[in-house]
Amino acid sequence: MVIIENIKFGYSRNKILFNDLSLEFKAGHIYGLLGKNGAGKTTVLKQIAGLLFPLSGTCSVMGQSSELRLPSVLQEIYMIAEEFYLPSISISKFVKINSPFYPKFNHDQFQELIKEFELSDGTVLTSLSYGQKKKALMAFGLATNTNLLILDEPTNGLDIPSKSQFRRIIASTLNDERCIIISTHQVRDLSSLLDEIIIIENGKKIFADSTEIISRKLLFSDLKEMNVNEPILYEEKSGFSQRVIAPNNRNSETEIDLELFFNGILTNTESITQALKN
């Protein structure tokens, strides 16, 4: 679906953000592209969408260079940016203007989605709150039925019920042909949704693996529940408890604490990745 090979990129030649970065995103998966603010997550998404171009290396989407911005490829990509501009027109007019570009756009599905999001298609976009605007764009993006859906910080601006609603709707739209890439630093909001995790730091990929492997190989627990002989790979205080990551020797998958895992990888990359290989 998306193959990024050895790309070098900087907003100026004196300040390089990526140097020899390689990533791969396959159909049938929901990817979490994780990293701290400034790690380069949005830049990666813009490379994929053909909005930025590498100084060297390649970024291909569905077998074509994203630099070419071929209409046949762009028709299969929909990106919802963290920051966006919406015109002062109704939701229905926005759909009428933009939906013809996407051959698989489903108007009935769109109506179901805006009803789910408690929006009216007669509402003027600029009259909506930031969170409501994001819901309108999500409804449109999902109804395009593109093979590649890119979401940059999608839960920003959403209240707690809306975040739960978002996770449920996104999960229901995944199929074998579709790849969903979600970039976020708010990892707690998406822990139950992602099936593949990629973490970048300082312009480099420092981790890439499935949540299935993480759940099977690592144990996330309170320190007081740990066996005294179990080695601790990472620990941090969480309220009145001490949360830890350890090798999982209990012959069963454990629930992932994605925020703890993210912090652990940033702090102790080598030990945790080695435990995942064992």
**20-65 residue pLDDT tens:** 899 999 999 999 999 888 888 999 999 999 999 998 999 999 999 9
Rounded Cα distance between 51 and 131, Å, is 24
Tally the C-alpha atoms within 13 A of residue 29's C-alpha that lie toward its C-beta: 18
Is-above-0.75 flag for pTM? yes
Extents of the domains making up the chain: 29-51+64-202, 211-277
Tokens of 230: 């179990």
Beta bridge partners of 80: 151
How far is the C-alpha of 224 from the C-alpha of 262, rounded, in Å? 22
Tens digits of residue pLDDT in 152-172? 988 888 888 888 888 888 888
**Residues linked to residue 59 through DSSP beta bridges, in sequence order:** 4
Q: Which of 52-56, 90-94, 221-225 has the lowest mean pLDDT?
A: 221-225
Q: State the DSSP H helix or E strand holding residue 215, giving kind and residue range, or none if neither.
A: helix 211-217
pLDDT at res. 228: 63
29-51+64-202 fold: Rossmann fold (3.40.50)
Mean pLDDT for the chain overall: 90
- Residue 172: which of 149, 196, 153 has the closest Cα? 149
